[in-house]
Amino acid sequence: MYRHQFTCGTDTSLTLGKIVCVGRNYAAHAAELDNPVPEEPLLFIKPATAAVPMDEPIHLPAGRGSCHFEGELALLIGTTLTDANASEVPPAIAGLGLALDLTLRDLQSQLKKDGHPWEKAKGFDGSCPLSPFVKLDWLPDWDKLSYSLWLNDELRQRGKTAHMLTPILDLVAYISSYFTLQPGDVVLTGTPAGVGELLHGDRVAMQLEDDWLRVETRVA
């Protein structure tokens, strides 16, 4: 069962609520899937049952086609945000972490073709492996964060917040204008180019900055 944790080894009293995600927040990722770049953030939600600890093995849904990894920077919300402006966002972010937005790509493609929501392809059980969170006792430079993902020791994704179409603080403020963000909610901020299929036996590693956080998992 998933529970929020901080990297310092302390548990948090925050209980996971919803996971709010943004699609196509990096232009290069939109291009690699031949998707148009949205004019405003493209939002969807994963249920709490999607979350699993990232250090546990990934279990691919059987019989549902190709499952892709999408590495993302994750934000742990610590205080309530409703219709906030960007200046109100920093003190509401309790931690920074890493996430995998696992996606049933064949199913998502069919859902998009039919004009249907993506939730069956994005919100299935175990579709959101989450790392522990780096507790924010300081305010980072939100526009200069970076993270990386390796698949079987090959660098596949390199995310830089400077390349986001909607910057972090503006993104969280935008989300809060549609959904109240509550303590324990998680925001996934989009994936850079380099996504791909996961296969049984694959090893995935992710790193935030050079030394803030490193996590590894494998596909069962």
* Half-sphere exposure (Cβ direction) of 7: Cα atoms closer than 13 Å: 21
Report if residue 2 sits inside a domain.
Answer: no
| Domain boundaries, position 201 | 19-218
Q: What is the phi/psi pair of residue 112, to 5°? A: -65, -40
- Tell me the per-residue pLDDT of 102-120, one tens digit each, with 9 for 90 and over: 999 999 999 999 999 999 9
Report if residue 134 sits inside a domain.
Answer: yes
User: Tell me, what CATH number does 139's domain have?
Assistant: 3.90.850.10
Report if residue 13 sits inside a domain.
Answer: no
Structural domain count, the chain: 1
- pLDDT for 214: 98
Report if residue 115 sits inside a domain.
Answer: yes
Report if residue 213 sits inside a domain.
Answer: yes
Report if residue 74 sits inside a domain.
Answer: yes
Report if residue 200 sits inside a domain.
Answer: yes
Which residue carries 């935008």 as its tokens?
174
Sign of CA dihedral 78, 167, 205, 119: positive
Could you write out the three-class secondary structure of 5-22? Answer: EECCCCECCCCCCCEEEE
- Are the CB atoms for 183 and 58 separated by under 8 Å? no
Confidence of residue 32 (pLDDT cuts 50, 70, 90): confident
- Tell me the per-residue pLDDT of 18-27, one tens digit each, with 9 for 90 and over: 999 999 999 8
- Tell me the per-residue pLDDT of 121-168, one tens digit each, with 9 for 90 and over: 999 999 999 999 999 988 899 999 999 999 999 999 999 999 999 999
Report if residue 9 sits inside a domain.
Answer: no
- pLDDT for 131: 98
pTM for this prediction? 0.96
